[in-house]
Amino acid sequence: MPFFSVIIPLYNKESYIEDCLQSVLNQSFNDFEVIITNDGSTDNSLCKVKSIQSDKIQIIDQKNQGVSLARNNASAKASGIYLAFLDADDVWKKDHLHCLAESIKVYPKSNFLANNYWIKYSDSYSAPAKIDINSTNDKPIVIQDLFGSSLHNNIIWTSAACLNREAFFKYGQFNPEYTTGQDLDLWIRIGLKEPLIFNPKKTMIYNYALEHSLGKSEQNLVRLKLFSSFKDDEKLNRSLKQYLDIKRYGLALRTKINGETEIFHKVRSDISKENLNFKQNLLLKTPRIILRLLNKARPFLLKNSWYLKHFKS
């Protein structure tokens, strides 16, 4: 029985999957298996995987069913004690699994773990995730307030996340009803029940450079439904309310730029203005034409080592 099962969903990532897989196979902690679900890729992704010779790799080949079922099906086949998730366009540093194992050794009863990470905004610019914690220690720590620690960047990102396998099934896995934000949904559900064990060492690189889409209307409706599903919980949890309002702010900007007026007004009505800063409240009032111009400039700013933080959800 391996200690870790590495879970990788794969859909049309032929340009990234080799680097992703090599970053796993190069881990200093060697007690793991890799389970890849090819979710109906139509490019050469599966051929790229098959070209890498390793007895650690198992492949599930399925018709396209979405990332939730891709992860869930791989997890069902996994035999590891812990599930370590990795998206096919992200990479791990050599000590990623070692640092997760270190956290588990310090907190052996933990179910919910994550390492710190870098964000790759462009080919020329990466920066550490901005996490809302006070600790300057590089040792694993207990995060009781998942939401208050995620008001800038999420303290847990899927490619840096790890769950006890039994706990993953206990919490209901990834919800296939959500075609976007399914990882956010799961982390909130778990974070309402138990603390996160967080290792401050940065061991993953999240490829934000691919995330330039404003989202299709149906995806934005899914995001609205997801955020609304926690309305009862946020009444009792101020940190969750503030966290979700910041997420709603990002959705409000996207839908305003897209001209999705009905979704925009619904999302904005759910936001408590005191949970946003002056700049965020101002941008929500900014005319659409100006927001569209700012958004068009965003890729240029990223390439020149600037990050237009206004638009981050």
pLDDT tens digit sequence for 23-57: 999 999 999 999 999 999 999 999 999 999 999 99
pLDDT tens digit sequence for 226-255: 999 999 999 999 999 999 999 999 999 999
Joined tokens for residue 3: 């200690």
Tell me how crowded residue 40 is: count the other CB atoms within 10 A of its CB.
16
Structure confidence at residue 207 as a pLDDT band (50, 70, 90): very high
Class of domain 4-210: alpha beta
Structure confidence at residue 312 as a pLDDT band (50, 70, 90): very low
What average pLDDT score do residues 283-310 get? 74
Spell out the residues 6+ positions from residue 102 whose beta carbon is closer than 8 angstroms to its own.
140, 199
Half-sphere exposure of 262 (CA within 13 A, CB side): 4
Q: Three-state SS across 60-110?
A: EEECCCCHHHHHHHHHHHCCCCEEEECCCCCEECCCHHHHHHHHHHHCCCC
> Whole-prediction pTM value?
0.93
pLDDT tens digit sequence for 266-275: 999 999 999 9
What average pLDDT score do residues 94-115 get? 98
pLDDT tens digit sequence for 144-188: 999 999 999 999 999 999 999 999 999 999 999 999 999 999 999
Task: For the chain, give every residue range classified as CATH 3.90.550.10.
Answer: 4-210
Quick check: 287 and 257 in contact, CB under 8 A?
A: no
Question: How far apart are alpha carbons 272 and 261 in whole angstroms?
Answer: 19
